[in-house]
Structure 1
Amino acid sequence: MNQSNKKNFEFIKNYGVNYFLQDSARNWFEISSNNKNEVKNHKTDKIQEIIEKIRSYNTPLKKSANNLVVYDGNLDAKIMFIGEAPGRDEDIRGLPFVGKAGQLLNKMLNAINLKREDVYITNVINWRPPENRTPTDDEILEFLPFLQKQIDVVNPDYIFLLGVIAAKAVLTTSLSISKLRNKWHIYHSLELNKKINTIASYHPAFLLRSPKYKKESWEDLKKLKKKIDDEK
């Protein structure tokens, strides 16, 4: 285990997460053929497994929420966008980023020539917290294994973190977005033998409340686009 993985494992272990949905390591990418349809079906099956595990997981957040919200977009996407938690509109429709913040996210994607169907969109927390409150550290740790499994299945080349909760969960940091943004970070999966380029920026909901930060968010998006273009 490399030092980064060891650090992440110790962080999770110290918070009481002793297992990741199953007792032993599992190869989520054991596929009998290179056929694209089989790969897609495999991913669909694995994501559905995760959805069912989240649905059956006993958390107090279920009591006040209407719908489970897991993902939207493309399972074969090379870019994953991770937000905080569902809001009122998302809780009603069962999809992430469909309210005003979602409309802004769509515009952000369009600005770098992407559409929702080109990327994979999810949140750290999959049930709406009461009154849209900020998720607690315990809730983040509760749902972190489900998020990690999604990353393993989708296997993106880039992760774009929307807001401080996503950054805290994925990068295991308490730093603010202002200190994390405008630079590349590395996410080390506990399952994948792969380093994933990761960038953190402001959550669209925050940008709606504080539009003066939109320019900085735009710089982060351009940084993502440039790296993608440079690595083609």
Structure 2
Amino acid sequence: MPADSLEKVAEEVTGCPKCKLSRTRKNAVPGEGQLAAKIMFVGEAPGRSEDDKGRPFVGAAGKILDEMLAKAGIQRSQVFITNVVKCRPPNNRVPEDDEVAACMPYLERQVALIRPRIICILGRTAYSSLLGGGSITANRGKIIEKGGQRYFLTIHPAAAIYNRSMLALLEADLKKLAKEVGCTEGWNERSLEDFM
């Protein structure tokens, strides 16, 4: 049996029929980024822009994430970004438990392939789905270790669309994350081996 790969996962996600979201999506959104990523970002689910383009975090929340990553000294091209659920729920509703369950094996395979130093959980739904957590605002900025994997908790960038005061919290959290992973200085000059 051939070895697993991010490309293989993406191909399976793109044609996935495992839950009802497959019937309403335009494009599945497997995720994108580096196999050698030290940081993996996991959000809730694709929105309208992501469904249109088949890429994660390319809408309004994505613009905020890109801006906050830049302020933290993290290059989007050096991380991996995905969601718990790979297809857009209708009207951007919260993914249902069966949809999360159907998609979770894809995310688990991506984590196993990338072996990130830390997974940055974006928002309450991802926190609940991955760690069984509750309030993201009460726990943001914290690092949790579970099953040998480290997780960093922060708000979803979409929260800052509706509450601009959240921008400062997200910026502070991502700067803390960058410092924790050691990517604030000399990110551009580092070799690929440094990210493995």
TM-score, normalising length: structure 1? 0.73
| 1:100-125 CA distance string (max 9 Å, x none) | 11111111110111221110000011
Match of 2:74 in 1: 114
Letter in 1 for 2:145: I
Alignment of 1:1-232 (within 5 A): 46-54=5-13, 55-173=15-133, 175-188=134-147, 195-229=148-182
Give the C-alpha shift of residue 144 in structure 1.
1.3
Give the Cα separation in 1 of the matches to 2:72 and 2:31.
Answer: 21
Give the Cα separation in 1 of the matches to 2:87 and 2:74.
Answer: 27
Give the Cα separation in 2 of the matches to 1:117 and 1:91.
Answer: 20
Give the Cα separation in 2 of the matches to 1:116 and 1:219.
Answer: 17
Give the Cα separation in 2 of the matches to 1:160 and 1:187.
Answer: 13
Runs (5+) with no aligned partner, structure 1: 1-25, 29-41, 189-194
Letter in 1 for 2:140: R
Larger RCO of the pair (alpha carbons < 8 Å, separation 6+): 2
| 1:38-71 CA distance string (max 9 Å, x none) | xxxx7xx512222233323331101111001011
TM-score, normalising length: structure 2? 0.86
Letter in 1 for 2:178: K
The RMSD of aligned alpha carbons is 2.0
Q: Tell me the secondary structure at the aligned position of residue 121 of structure 1.
A: strand
Letter in 2 for 1:77: A
Letter in 2 for 1:229: G
Identical-residue share of aligned pairs (%): 37
How many residues were matched structurally? 183
Contact 1:170-1:187 at 8 Å conserved across structures:
no
